[in-house]
Amino acid sequence: MTIEDAMVLAAGLGTRLRPITDRMPKPLVPIAGKPMIDYGLDALAAAGVKRAVVNVHHFAEQMIAHLSARQKPEILVSDETEQLLDSGGGLAKGLKRLGRGPVLVMNADLFWIGERPGRPTNLQRLAEAFDPERMDIAMLCVRLEDTTGHNGRNDFSMDADGRLSRYREGAGTPVVYAGALALMPALLDDAPAEPFNLNIYFDRAIAAGRLFGLMLEGHWITVGTPEAIGAAEAAVARIAA
For 176-207, how does the pLDDT look when each residue is reduced to its tens digit (9 = 90+)? 999 999 999 999 999 998 999 999 999 999 99
On whether the pTM is more than 0.85, the answer is: yes
224 and 26 Cβ atoms separated by less than 8 Å: no
Q: Give 21-55 pLDDT, tens digit per residue.
A: 999 999 999 999 999 999 999 999 999 999 999 99
CA distance 179 to 39: 13
Question: How many angstroms from the chain centroid is the CA of residue 72?
Answer: 18
DSSP code, position 163: B
Report the C-alpha gap between 15 and 34 in whole angstroms: 20
Residue 75 backbone dihedrals phi, psi, to 5 degrees: -105, 130
- Mark residue 181 as left, alpha or beta (left: phi above 0; alpha: psi -120 to 50; beta: remaining): beta
Rounded to the nearest 5 percent, the helix, strand and coil shares of the chain are 30, 25, 40
Average pLDDT, the chain: 94
CA distance 85 to 135: 25
Q: What does the pLDDT read at residue 181? A: 98
Assign 63 to helix, strand or coil.
helix
Task: Indicate the pLDDT class of residue 241, thresholds 50, 70 and 90.
Answer: low
End-to-end Cα spacing for the chain: 33
Residue 46, Cβ density class (10 Å: 0-12 exposed, 13-18 middle, ≥19 buried): middle
- Domains of the chain by start residue, with CATH: 5-240 (3.90.550.10)
